[in-house]
Amino acid sequence: MQNRNQPVAVEGYPFIALFAFITLVLALLGLKCLTVILLLLTLFTVYFFRNPERVTPADADAVIAPADGKVIFVGKVAEERYFKGETTKVSIFMSVFNVHVNRAPFSGKVVDMFYHKGQFVNAALDKASLKNEQAGILLETERGKRLLFVQIAGLIARRIVTYPVVGDLLKKGERYGLIRFGSRVDIYFPAESEILVQLGDRTVAGETILGYLR
C-alpha cells in the first residue's frame, strides 16, 4: 500500500500499533512512569509519520523539493553514472522532526533506478552521498531533460521505501516514497539548470522551488 491521502504514512502503522500496545500493557500493570514514556513515544511516532497535503506550484519548468528539510549542499559535481560529466547537486537533510514522505520533483517517466547497500554514517556529511545505503530514480521529462534524485539512508535511518518501477510516469509533487528516521535526498540537475536555493535554506516537499530546467 502506498501513501496517498492518509494523514499518517502507512509505513508507520506497525510502529504506532506496537508502541500503543506496549503503552496499554504498562498502563494495565500500573507502571505510570513507563506508561507516560511509551505514550510520548507513541505520539512522537504518529508525528514522525505524518503525511500532510501539499500545494505544488503550477510553474511547468520548476523543479520542486522532494523532501522537507535543510539544504546542506549546492554546487557543481561530477555525476558519471548517467550524466557522464558535470551536474549541479542540491542536497536536503531531513532530521527526525521533518516530514519524511518524499515527493517527485518533476513530472516525467522513470527510465532507470538503482539501489545500493552501504554504510549508515551521518547523512549530513558529504561522504554519505557515496558511502551510505541509497536508492535513486532517473526521470526523463517530456522535453528529454533528465533529473536524478537519490534517497540516502542516514545514521538512524535503516529503511528506504521507493514506490515507482521503471516505466512509471510520475507527476510533480506526487508522493513516491519515504525514508524512516532521519536521512537526506540528493537531486542532480543538468549543468545548464537555474538553481534558486542556497545553503541553509529550508525546503517543503512538494512546494519549495529548487530551480528550473532550462
Phi first, then psi: give them for residue 126, nearest 5 degrees: -60, -35
Share of the chain above pLDDT 70, in %: 90
pLDDT of residue 5: 79
**What top-level class would CATH report for the domain 62-212?**
mainly beta
196 pLDDT above the threshold of 90: yes
14 pLDDT above the threshold of 70: yes
pLDDT of residue 129: 67
For cell 496517498, what's the residue? 4
Greatest Cα pair distance, the chain, in angstroms, is 64
DSSP string covering 55-103: -----TTEEEPSSSEEEEEEEEEEETTTTSEEEEEEEEEE-TTS--EEE
pLDDT of residue 118: 67
In this structure, the number of other CB atoms found within 10 A of the CB of residue 161 comes to: 19
> Average pLDDT, whole number, for the chain?
90
Residue 1: pLDDT band with limits 50, 70, 90: low
Say how far apart CA 17 and CA 107 lie, in whole Å: 35
Q: pLDDT, tens digit, for every residue of 38-51?
A: 999 999 999 999 99
pLDDT of residue 183: 84
Q: CA nearest 99: which of 201, 12, 205, 176?
A: 205
Residue 176: pLDDT band with limits 50, 70, 90: very high
- Give the residue-averaged pLDDT of 26-47: 94
Phi first, then psi: give them for residue 176, nearest 5 degrees: -125, 0
pLDDT of residue 126: 67
The catalytic residue positions are 183
Q: pLDDT, tens digit, for every residue of 100-110?
A: 899 999 999 99
Say how far apart CA 105 and CA 103 lie, in whole Å: 6
pLDDT of residue 6: 86
Q: Given CA atoms 186, 190, 194, 199 in this order, what sign does their dihedral have? A: positive
CA angle 70, 158, 149 (to 5 degrees): 50
Q: pLDDT, tens digit, for every residue of 109-167?
A: 999 999 988 666 555 566 656 677 889 999 999 999 999 999 988 766 567 889 999 99
